[in-house]
Amino acid sequence: MDRLGTVIEAKGDAAVVRMQRHLSCENCGRCGGILGGEDRRQLVVEVLNPVKAGAGQRVLIESDDRRVLFVSFMLYIVPLTGLVAGLLLGLNLAPRLGLGGGRELAAAGLGFALMALVFLGIRAWDRRVRHSAKYKPVITAVVAEKGE
């Protein structure tokens, strides 16, 4: 996945880059969208900077599509799977624990508890891989401005 951005600050082998939100999410309104200010429509991320781009330069940023899909899977599908597994487990365990009348409530409680445990696991995984170069986008080129 290729994106354009502007380097805000160069920090050794890394850089802080301001990127415009992708067209598919730019106007949804969830986090600013068309009603939000300019600061809400832009992302600020830290990326690897092997080309040594400096502050103010427009750059092309690449991220591995497989890694982006994997992280999306971890953040959306895995917790949803935990919720569904907890619901099904709760529905099956409630009668055995003598919770016949509160079966659905027990299932919902176990579903949300299991989903929370999955989120805690994802958070621990995130702390471990946060600074890994494997999951960071990379500046691949400095892009000339239109007037240059």
For residue 27, is pLDDT > 70? no
pLDDT, one tens digit per residue, over 98-107 is 776 778 888 8
User: Domain 2-64+135-143 belongs to what topology?
Assistant: OB fold (Dihydrolipoamide Acetyltransferase, E2P) (2.40.50)
Residue 119 near residue 40, CB atoms below 8 Å? no
Query: Is pLDDT at 36 greater than 80 in this prediction?
Result: no
d(CA 119, CA 109): 15
Where does the pLDDT of residue 146 fall: very low under 50, low under 70, confident under 90, or very high at 90 and above?
Answer: low
**Banded pLDDT at 120 (limits 50, 70, 90):** very high
> pLDDT digit string (tens) for 64-91?
888 888 988 999 999 999 999 999 998 8
User: Under a CB-based contact definition with an 8 Å cutoff, are residues 4 and 59 in contact?
Assistant: yes
Query: What do you get for the CA distance between the two ends of the chain, in Å?
Result: 26
Name 33's Cβ contacts closer than 8 Å, sequence gap at least 6. Answer: 26, 27, 40, 41
How high does pLDDT run on average in the chain? 82
Beta bridge partners of residue 27, listed in sequence order: none
Q: Give the whole-angstrom CA distance, residue 121 versus residue 126.
A: 9
Residues shown for the chain = 148
Query: Token digits for 136?
Result: 């960071």
- Distances 23 to 18, 28, 35, 142 between C-alpha atoms, Å: 15, 9, 15, 22
**Domain-wise residue ranges, the chain:** 2-64+135-143, 66-129
